[in-house]
Amino acid sequence: MAWRGAVLAVTGALGLLLARPPAPVRGLQERIFAPLPRPAASRGIVVIDIGARDETGAVWTRAATARLVARLAQAKPRVIGLDMLIAGDCDGAPARDLATALQGQPAVLGLLLSDTPGPARPPARLGLTGPLPLWQAPGAETPCPQLAGHDWAVMALMGGADATVRHVPVAAEVGRRALPGLAVAIAARAEGVLPLIGPAGLRLGARTFALEAGSLRFAASAPADWPARTLPAAAVLAGQELPPEDAVVLIGSSLPERGGLRPSATSPVMPSVQILADAVAGLRSGQLPHRPGWAPALEGGFVTLAGLLTLLVLLRLRPARAAALAATLAALWAGAAVFFGRGGLLLDPVLPVAALALILLTALLGRAAALARAERVLRDRMGQLLPPALVSRLAAQPRLMRLDGETREVTALFTDIEGFSAATSAMGAVEMVARLDAYFALTCAIVLRHGGMIDKLVGDSLHALFNAPLDQPGHEAAALACAAEILAATEVFARENNGFGKTRIGVECGPAVLGDVGFGTRIDYTAHGVAVNLAARLQEANKSLGTRICIGPTLGARVPGLVPLGETELRSFGRLALYTLRA
């Protein structure tokens, strides 16, 4: 069937779409992934937010930053990370004061990637075990030279196609030398390990993190979570706040004019220092989300297999079963994807389910359309054999028709054209077929109009049944009225067709067995019984009786007002009392 091919085509197309998602689909999936992974707990991480003014109300300067670092050193931090570039005016007193404040502190300073080669950089605390797709840059804008005794790391953040930042760099190759990303360098320094980057990913101590195109995905925290880990820099300088001892201290700014705001999965204006805090928290806890490279193939494969299974069930069982199966598979997939997503393994819980729903909808609509076409064909076909009201009733309640066989009372009506053999010998084939078509169109319409069923057309004979396949109250009278109308109509037909079409009719009622009879594709719904056979013999008896309508003894006994013909010997039936209609 054509609808099956359409379902297969939709299934294959959607499976391929998810297995090899284009950029718009990937962008939609990223928005779906946003609420799934749980951000790592920020225990032991403190963000120092530099505002526009210091503790005295003066504009914030580098001298204030030097005082801030000196104040923070009193808390004996595990590591100080500066999400800012300390460059320019390196010979001034503030730069010297900052270098003095940082002296002896475990600090990591940020640098910016540049399109032009820059000055020499200190050796990086980083190990590489193979070629990797690292971010590339010809050079970097580095901190002041007097700060070269500390770790330097890349603080670049690159957004996706929609500019949203979801990854931080694991490292960058700057002038053919690899430098770690700022989050990696801070986490490694806090754990006291050397970061190792290789084909298997980033290794920090005993933990290994999978990479996505040379970067690490992080779970962004909500803006409501930031205040709990953030201290205002002015309050620290004023002695009002101080981080706990052995904390990882990250210094940055949430001021828009400092250029550190980035769109993330949870906020359109997330300070880069808060992004840094989330990445460091994930690295230290081992809870960074990851979208494996095989995930699209798994999602596409699920859609393809689930779609094929749904189609197979729909072909064998009722639509409700197929819909239940598809719903179950969709629920299992969505539940598993959310479960794994909360643990950091990102699988799409939405689009595969939507694809399966589209496949199911296509299959159901296609099947419904096919059934509607089949019903129309069946109605048209049955409409040639049964009255329209009966066809509608059977279409609405097909179980009413017992095709496996039943015994019921019927009235059988048989017709035959007088002198058919002689008439056809004088006619050509085309003329004979045309006249027979017109004759049967006339007589069959009369049978249907009286509620009868066209059992079959054999040569020039019409076999009709009344009270079949469903109950027809008054079927005996209906059959006799049908016989009278056929006789009158065929008389007119004969006059218009050079005598062709004069009809003899036999009618009788009695029990008969009805059902499908035949073999293979040659199946016929018909009736068998004494009354049926006798009606055919009564039609032949008209020749010897000189009548046009001959009625059997059972029907004659039931319907009053018929004309008796006396007893007549019929082959295989003996002597029977026969009747005819009054003229």
Examine the pLDDT at 135 and tell me if it is beyond 90.
Answer: no
Phi, psi of 231 (to 5 degrees): -120, 135
The residue count of the chain comes to 583
User: 285 pLDDT band (50/70/90 cuts)?
Assistant: very high
Per-residue pLDDT at 21 exceeds 90: yes
160: DSSP letter: -
Over 70: is that where the pLDDT of 271 sits? yes
Residue range 41-90, pLDDT digits in tens: 889 999 999 999 999 999 999 999 999 999 999 999 999 999 999 988 88
User: To the nearest whole number, what is the mean pLDDT of the chain?
Assistant: 88
In this model, does residue 417 exceed pLDDT 90? yes
Least confident of 376-390, 435-449, 455-469, 526-540: 376-390
Average pLDDT over residues 274-298: 94
What is the helix (H) or strand (E) element at residue 456, kind and residue range? strand 453-458
Closest CA to 125 of 151, 105, 156, 154: 151
User: Taking a C-beta distance cutoff of 8 angstroms, is the pair 457, 523 a contact?
Assistant: no
What is the reported pLDDT for 479? 96
* β-sheet bridge partners, residue 413: 464, 507
- 372 pLDDT more than 80: no
Check if the beta carbon of residue 476 is closer than 8 Å to that of residue 555: yes
Rounded distance between C-alpha atoms, residue 453 and residue 524, angstroms:
13
- For the CA atoms of 65, 69, 70, 75, the dihedral, rounded to the nearest 10 degrees, stands at 150
The string of pLDDT tens digits covering residues 171-214 is 988 877 888 999 999 999 999 999 999 888 899 999 999 999 88
- Residue 515 is predicted with a pLDDT of 79
Give yes or no for a contact between 391 and 382, defined as CB atoms under 8 angstroms apart. yes
Q: Would you place residue 299 in the very low, low, confident or very high pLDDT band (cuts 50, 70, 90)?
A: very high
Torsion angle defined by CA atoms of residues 390, 391, 392 and 396, in that order, rounded to the nearest 10 degrees: 100
pLDDT of residue 361 exceeding 80: yes
* pLDDT band (50, 70, 90) for residue 399: low
Mean pLDDT across 532-550: 94
Strands (DSSP E) found in 162-237: 167-169, 171-174, 177-180, 196-198, 201-204, 207-209, 215-217, 230-232
Distance CA 18, CA 300 (A): 5
- Lowest mean pLDDT, pick from 57-66, 105-114, 129-138, 472-481: 129-138
Q: Assign 391 a pLDDT band (cuts: 50, 70, 90).
A: low
Q: Count the Cβ atoms, other than its own, within 10 Å of residue 298.
A: 16
Question: Which region among 172-176, 307-311, 335-339 has the lowest average model confidence (pLDDT)?
Answer: 172-176
What is residue 150's three-state secondary structure? coil
Q: What single letter denotes the amino acid at residue 149?
A: G
Amino acid at 182: L
Query: In this structure, are residues 537 and 506 in contact, taking their beta carbons and an 8 Å threshold?
Result: yes
Give the pLDDT band (50/70/90) at residue 578: very high
Tell me how far apart the 2 most distant CA atoms of the chain are, in Å: 141
Query: Are 487 and 505 within 8 A, CB to CB?
Result: yes
Instruction: Return the minimum-mean-pLDDT range out of 384-393, 437-446, 465-474.
Output: 384-393
Instruction: Name the segment(s) of the chain with CATH classification 3.30.70.1230.
Output: 396-580
Give me the mean pLDDT over the 343-362 stretch. Answer: 93
Q: CA 224 to CA 124: how far, in whole Å? A: 35
Predicted local confidence at residue 267, as pLDDT: 94
> Which is the CATH superfamily of the domain at 396-580?
Nucleotide cyclase, GGDEF domain (3.30.70.1230)
The answer to pTM > 0.75 is no
Percent of the chain at pLDDT > 90 equals 64
pLDDT bracket for residue 396 (50, 70, 90): low
Distance, CA of 243 to CA of 256 (rounded, Å): 25
pLDDT digits (tens, 9 = 90+) for 214-256: 899 999 999 999 999 999 999 999 999 999 999 999 999 999 9
pLDDT digits (tens, 9 = 90+) for 421-454: 888 777 888 888 999 999 999 999 999 899 998 8
SS3 409: strand
Q: What is the pLDDT of residue 390?
A: 53
Which pLDDT value is given to residue 517?
Answer: 66
CA distance 348 to 345: 10
pLDDT band for position 506 (50/70/90)? very high
The mean pLDDT of 132-154, rounded to a whole number, is 86
Closest to 36 (Cα-Cα) out of 273, 290, 208: 290
Q: Count the neighbouring beta carbons within 10 Å of the beta carbon of residue 258.
A: 17
Confidence class for position 290, pLDDT limits 50, 70, 90: very high
pLDDT for 48? 95
Q: Is the pLDDT of residue 403 over 70?
A: no
Q: What is the average pLDDT across 348-358? A: 95
Q: Which residue intervals of 294-350 are DSSP H helices?
A: 295-316, 319-342
> How many Cβ atoms sit within 10 Å of the Cβ of residue 196?
17
